[in-house]
Amino acid sequence: MKLNELRDNPGASKKRMRVARGPGSGKGKMGGRGIKGQKSRSGVAIKGYEGGQMPLYQRLPKRGFNNINSKTYAVVNLGLIQKFIDAGKLGTDITEDSLIESGLVRRKKDGIRVLAKGELTSKANITVTGASKGAVEAVEKLGGTLTVSAPARADATTE
């Protein structure tokens, strides 16, 4: 085998169709767009139009309910908090800001909620937006406190 004999396998590469480059190209003159009309012009896209047929997004059933006022919380398990305390990334006084600084939570969202999964073995004072009953019991059993503070509302007005 020589360098000048190297070739792609037959059919491995296909030449690009050069649209609207003269009658010899097979896609000349109107370039496959037909004569006049909206779709022959540039910069026009008719999204979701299926030629008079009922579009797919209208044929599919609409189900359920999307609550625009729903809150999404960042979730933290007690087992992970204990892991970070053991690693020295968290102290005994834990707030939402300290959870973010330690890297346990990426962002606050509408607040941080503590769940009871895993086991907490060291005493800690935790202040978060939400907590499950099991998590509150587990923290208080060790002599710590789990304070649930109401999230600061953005639309609240001060009088």
Q: Does the 74-148 domain belong in CATH 3.40.50.720?
A: no
The pLDDT of residue 150 is 75
| pTM, two decimal places | 0.56
Instruction: Give every CB contact of residue 50 below 8 A, 6+ residues apart in sequence.
Output: 56
Average pLDDT by stretches of 10, the chain with 159 residues: 93 92 91 89 78 87 91 93 92 91 92 92 92 93 89 55
Q: What is the pLDDT of residue 45?
A: 67
Half-sphere exposure of residue 136, counting CA atoms within 13 Å on the CB side?
Answer: 9
Give the pLDDT confidence score for residue 49 in this predicted structure: 78
For the chain, give every domain's residue range: 74-148
Q: What is the pLDDT of residue 21?
A: 93
